[in-house]
Amino acid sequence: MNTAGVFSSIKTITDAYRKRLKEVHPAKFDLSPADGGWSYAEVYAHIFDLSILSLEAIDRCLSNEAKERKTPFITRAILFFGAFPPAIKFKVPTQFESRVKKISITEATKLMDTFERKLLPYADKLSTAITTRKAAHPRLGYLNAAQWLRFIEIHLKHHLKQLKRIDKQDNFTSLRP
């Protein structure tokens, strides 16, 4: 896996999130779309919070607590193709549901800044990562450090598409808790 390319892609995608954050009207940021989906605020909270948690998983892969396990075939296919299967709708794993919350634009910016700052040191760390050392993902099985990085990229891209769907909604409701 070309980790330098993945790092570059993550930077480009994060820049797209920043651009989108500047374009969204502040009054719409925490409003839930009428279709019951997440607000912009919830997407930003989810994606960057879990990206930071994914970096912690990379740390586990680089440590002695990593396991030597196989990565499931379907997961390897997702990582290879760079996207989740379109026919499968993934839900947030139960243990992370409470982490999805409405945040302000300022908090979203800080969360992105934190993610990017924490991501930087991994460029050097991944070059020495042992590929058989893995940490568990709640849906995808065991991933090694490079696979976790690829997951971050795929996950960021996936939710960027979700923001585009929110953009197309023209009616919002603030009634959803």
Average pLDDT of 160-165? 87
Domain range summary for the chain, segments of one domain joined by +: 3-173
Q: What is the greatest pairwise CA distance in the chain?
A: 50
pTM equals 0.89
Tell whether the model's pLDDT for residue 175 goes beyond 50: no
Long-range CB contacts for residues 52-56, cutoff 8 Å, separation at least 24: 52/111, 52/114, 52/115, 52/118, 53/96, 54/148, 54/151, 54/152, 54/155, 55/115, 55/118, 55/119, 55/122, 55/148, 55/152
Q: Can you list the alpha helix ranges (DSSP code H) found in 63-142?
A: 73-81, 105-119, 122-125
Tell whether the model's pLDDT for residue 174 goes beyond 70: no
Tell whether the model's pLDDT for residue 109 goes beyond 80: yes
Task: Report which residue type is found at 125.
Answer: K
Q: What is the pLDDT of residues 34-92, one digit of tens each?
A: 777 889 999 999 999 999 999 999 999 999 888 889 999 999 999 999 998 876 677 77
Domain formed by 3-173, architecture: Up-down Bundle (1.20)
| Rg from Cα positions in the chain | 17
Residue 156: the pLDDT is 97
Token representation of residue 2: 């070309």
Q: pLDDT confidence of 176, banded at 50, 70, 90?
A: very low
Strand 32-33, strand 141-144: pairing = unpaired
Mean pLDDT, rounded, of the chain: 89
Q: What is the pLDDT of residues 123-135, one digit of tens each?
A: 888 988 899 999 9
